[in-house]
């Protein structure tokens, strides 16, 4: 096992846990990982390294923009893409005008006036007789 420093908060699965619980490793903390476990937090499995060897922890921690932590990467075990792939290459474009939003008047522009409501007449709910009475009517 090798000591690594977490560069961001990571959730690491507990080895052999039947409930598949995880441990939260806060940014800056040191954790012992095997080479296989460490590969999950390093490129090509991630776009950026989420851990670094503890020997290199003397310098300041790099700052990451949240968006830079996510995206398409390659799973080292399967070789398949992981992450948010985006729309497929053969996806049709949006129809003209569908991506445009028009705001005619914001809802706060005018106070509601009495009588402006478009609700219809109030209808009372119908009472349903007990099931034994319904069965008696059906049998009669």
Q: Using pLDDT thresholds of 50, 70 and 90, give the confidence band for residue 112.
A: low
pLDDT at 116 (0 to 100): 62
Beta strand spans in the chain (E): 2-6, 10-13, 22-25, 30-33, 51-53, 73-74, 81-82
* pLDDT at residue 22 greater than cutoff 60: yes
Q: Which residues pair with 73 in a beta bridge?
A: 82
Exposure string over 23-57, b if 16+ CB within 10 A, otherwise e: eebeeeeebebeeebbebbbeebbebebbbeeeeb
What six digits make up the tokens of 86? 């985006």
Closest Cα partner for 36 from 58, 62, 71, 4? 4
pLDDT tens digits for 31-88?
Answer: 999 999 999 888 887 878 899 999 988 888 888 877 777 665 666 677 776 665 566 7
Q: Where are the domains of the chain?
A: 2-82
C-alpha span between 83 and 70 (Å, rounded): 7
* pLDDT at residue 119 greater than cutoff 60: no
pLDDT at 60 (0 to 100): 85
pTM of the model: 0.51
pLDDT tens digits for 72-96?
Answer: 566 667 777 666 556 677 888 888 8
Cis, bond preceding 107 (omega within 30 deg of 0): no
């Amino acid at each position: 096992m090798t000591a690594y420093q977490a560069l961001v908060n990571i959730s690491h699965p507990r080895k052999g846990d039947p409930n598949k619980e995880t441990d939260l490793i806060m940014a800056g903390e040191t954790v012992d990982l095997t080479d296989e476990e460490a590969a999950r937090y390093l490129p090509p499995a991630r776009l950026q390294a989420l851990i670094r060897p503890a020997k290199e922890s003397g310098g300041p921690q790099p700052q990451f923009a949240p968006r830079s932590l996510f995206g398409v990467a390659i799973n080292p075990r399967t070789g398949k893409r992981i992450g948010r792939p985006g729309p497929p290459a053969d996806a049709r474009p949006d129809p003209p005008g569908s991506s445009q939003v028009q705001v005619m008047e914001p809802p706060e522009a005018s106070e509601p006036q009495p009588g402006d409501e478009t609700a219809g007449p109030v209808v009372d709910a119908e009472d349903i007789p007990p099931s034994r009475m319904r069965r008696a009517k059906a049998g009669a």
